[in-house]
Amino acid sequence: MPQPSLWILLNAPAEVLQVRKQEVTPEETARQCKAYLDFIRTRGKHVVVDSSQPLEKVIADAEHAINGALIEDEGNRG
């Protein structure tokens, strides 16, 4: 299966996520946050975007990471 050129994790402090989604305990939210961070760090090229920021900033950060990866990929091909 092909692997992505870039992994993006939308992350926020566990406390922020807990306010948004209360289906699990705060401890489980913290555990999941750590698990996602541990996972993303094992991927090749990755970026963690703070999703507790205003939406426009989250989008801009993700777009910046994607554009950077595209430029890097293009440079590696040429």
pLDDT at 75 over 80: no
- Residue 78's alpha-carbon distances to 3, 47, 68, in angstroms, are 21, 24, 16
pLDDT at 17 over 80: yes
pLDDT of residue 63: 97
User: Do residues 8 and 39 make contact, with C-beta atoms less than 8 angstroms apart?
Assistant: no
User: Do residues 16 and 29 make contact, with C-beta atoms less than 8 angstroms apart?
Assistant: no
Per-residue pLDDT band at 71 (split at 50, 70, 90)? confident
pLDDT of residue 78: 60
pLDDT for 3-15, tens place per residue? 888 999 999 999 9
- Alpha carbon distance 9, 47 (integer Å): 6
pLDDT of residue 33: 94
